[in-house]
């Protein structure tokens, strides 16, 4: 079946459950999952119910869409995302973003957990993503281009919306939350990086490294959505004093930062314009 038809079927399924006008979509990465609990008047739709949606397997991620009210806005939250290292192809990972756009949502907040490579960062910091480097070795737009979604060669000169970056910084100031800014590099994973890899990633300009987000950001850009990205720095990924890392540690630190992460995103949602 053609992509556009699959997207339509998924959208129509969601619309039958909730057809309110939605202002903002948010991908809840590690550490932001609890934002889902703050959404009111909500409809929860399991990914397994939605036609053509892939299903999530990774520890600590459920898989459901939550549509409801938050800080005076109607939002759609993706609780659980799909990762390349799980074995999905890039088109499958990003299918929900096509559906979100088809629902008429033009603003997307993406979040993730990442390793901090910038020496000025600390564990538990939040980093507003200003730009990215795609080192996943793949791109979700490889293959047939669907002109109905966007051009063959999409512009990426403003992948992360400047107004939204400034808005996020202002919101952080208002709440007295210190945020960092920087460049996110995505690798395929699932291995964490070796010291030699981290030295390279830092040298080429990365401030944080993770295994997600860039596929979704590319697809959202293809459709001219406005994107804000925020990373929770769960571990310091600095070659010269690298400590052994496991997923439990990442989740533990993400949980410690979750209150500030949730507060910041709520404030951003509140301050965002609806159109
Ligand atoms: N590397 C890659 N992905 C990550 C890391 C890391 O150090 N921390 C959280 N996700």
- pLDDT, residue 164, reads 97
- Using the mean position of ligand 1's atoms as its centre, give its distance from the Cα of residue 251 in Å: 11
Mean pLDDT calculated for residue range 76-88: 91
**Could you give the CA distance from residue 270 to residue 114 in angstroms, rounded to a whole number?**
25
Which pLDDT band, with edges at 50, 70 and 90, does 56 fall under? Answer: low
Answer left, alpha or beta for residue 205, where phi above 0 means left and psi between -120 and 50 means alpha: left
Specify whether the CB–CB gap between 115 and 238 falls below 8 A.
no
Specify whether the CB–CB gap between 77 and 109 falls below 8 A.
no
Which residue's structure tokens are 């600390």? Answer: 122
Structure tokens at 263: 């507060």
Residue 218 in this model has a pLDDT that exceeds 90: yes
For residue 121, the enclosing domain spans 3-271
Which residue's structure tokens are 């520890």? Answer: 59
Specify whether the CB–CB gap between 235 and 118 falls below 8 A.
no
Structure tokens at 259: 């209150």
- pLDDT, residue 151, reads 96
Choose the weakest-confidence range: 33-37, 157-161, 198-202.
33-37
Residue 93 in this model has a pLDDT that exceeds 70: yes
- pLDDT, residue 133, reads 98
> pLDDT tens digits, residue range 167-178?
999 999 999 999
- Taking residue 238's Cβ as centre, other Cβ atoms within 10 Å add up to 18
> pLDDT tens digits, residue range 261-270?
999 999 999 9
Choose the weakest-confidence range: 34-38, 190-194, 229-233.
34-38
Residue 4 DSSP SS3: helix
Mean pLDDT calculated for residue range 256-265: 92
- Using the mean position of ligand 1's atoms as its centre, give its distance from the Cα of residue 237 in Å: 8
> Residue 152 burial (CB < 10 Å; 0-12/13-18/19+)?
exposed
Which pLDDT band, with edges at 50, 70 and 90, does 252 fall under? Answer: confident
- Mean pLDDT, the chain, rounded, equals 93
Structure tokens at 152: 């063959």
> Residue 21 burial (CB < 10 Å; 0-12/13-18/19+)?
exposed
Please name the residue whose Cα sits nearest to atom 10 of ligand 1.
114
Pairing of strands 24-28, 73-79: parallel
**Could you give the CA distance from residue 227 to residue 25 in angstroms, rounded to a whole number?**
10
Q: Is 250 in the pocket of ligand 1 (CB under 6 A)?
A: yes
- pLDDT, residue 207, reads 98
Pairing of strands 226-236, 64-70: unpaired
What 8-state DSSP symbol labels residue 244?
A: P
What 8-state DSSP symbol labels residue 222?
A: H
Total number of domains constituting the chain: 1
- Using the mean position of ligand 1's atoms as its centre, give its distance from the Cα of residue 37 in Å: 25
Residue 75 sits in a domain whose CATH number is 3.40.50.1580
Please name the residue whose Cα sits nearest to atom 2 of ligand 1.
210
- Using the mean position of ligand 1's atoms as its centre, give its distance from the Cα of residue 234 in Å: 7
> pLDDT tens digits, residue range 59-81?
445 589 999 999 999 999 999 88
Mean pLDDT calculated for residue range 138-158: 95
- Using the mean position of ligand 1's atoms as its centre, give its distance from the Cα of residue 210 in Å: 5
Please name the residue whose Cα sits nearest to atom 7 of ligand 1.
115
What 8-state DSSP symbol labels residue 211?
A: S
- Using the mean position of ligand 1's atoms as its centre, give its distance from the Cα of residue 85 in Å: 13
Q: Give pTM, 2 decimals.
A: 0.95
Q: Is 217 in the pocket of ligand 1 (CB under 6 A)?
A: no
- Taking residue 7's Cβ as centre, other Cβ atoms within 10 Å add up to 24
Q: Is 79 in the pocket of ligand 1 (CB under 6 A)?
A: no
- pLDDT, residue 257, reads 85
Q: Is 235 in the pocket of ligand 1 (CB under 6 A)?
A: yes
- pLDDT, residue 59, reads 47
């Amino acid at each position: 079946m053609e992509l556009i038809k699959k997207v339509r079927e998924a959208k129509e399924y969601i619309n039958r459950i909730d057809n309110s006008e939605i202002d903002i979509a948010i991908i809840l990465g590690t550490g932001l999952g609890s934002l889902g609990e703050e959404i009111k008047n909500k409809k929860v739709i399991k990914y397994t119910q939605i036609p053509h949606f892939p299903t999530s397997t990774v520890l600590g991620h459920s898989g459901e869409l939550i549509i409801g009210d938050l800080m005076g806005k109607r939002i759609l939250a993706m609780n659980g995302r799909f990762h390349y290292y799980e074995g999905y192809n890039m088109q499958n990972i990003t299918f929900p973003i096509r559906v979100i756009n088809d629902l008429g949502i033009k603003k997307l907040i993406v979040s993730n957990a990442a390793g901090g490579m910038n020496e000025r960062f600390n564990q538990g910091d939040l980093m507003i993503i200003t730009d990215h480097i795609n080192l996943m070795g793949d791109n979700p737009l490889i293959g047939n281009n669907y002109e109905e979604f966007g051009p063959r060669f999409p512009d990426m000169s403003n992948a992360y919306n400047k107004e939204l970056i400034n808005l996020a910084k202002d919101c952080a100031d208002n709440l007295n939350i210190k945020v960092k800014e920087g460049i996110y590099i995505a690798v395929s994973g699932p291995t964490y990086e070796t010291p030699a890899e981290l030295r390279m990633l830092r040298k080429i300009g990365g401030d944080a490294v993770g295994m997600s987000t860039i596929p979704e950001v590319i697809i959202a850009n293809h459709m001219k959505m406005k994107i804000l990205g925020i990373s929770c720095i769960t571990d310091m990924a600095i070659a010269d004093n690298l400590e052994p890392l496991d997923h439990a540690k990442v989740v533990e630190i993400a949980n410690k930062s979750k209150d500030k992460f949730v507060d910041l995103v709520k404030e951003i949602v509140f301050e965002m314009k609806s159109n």
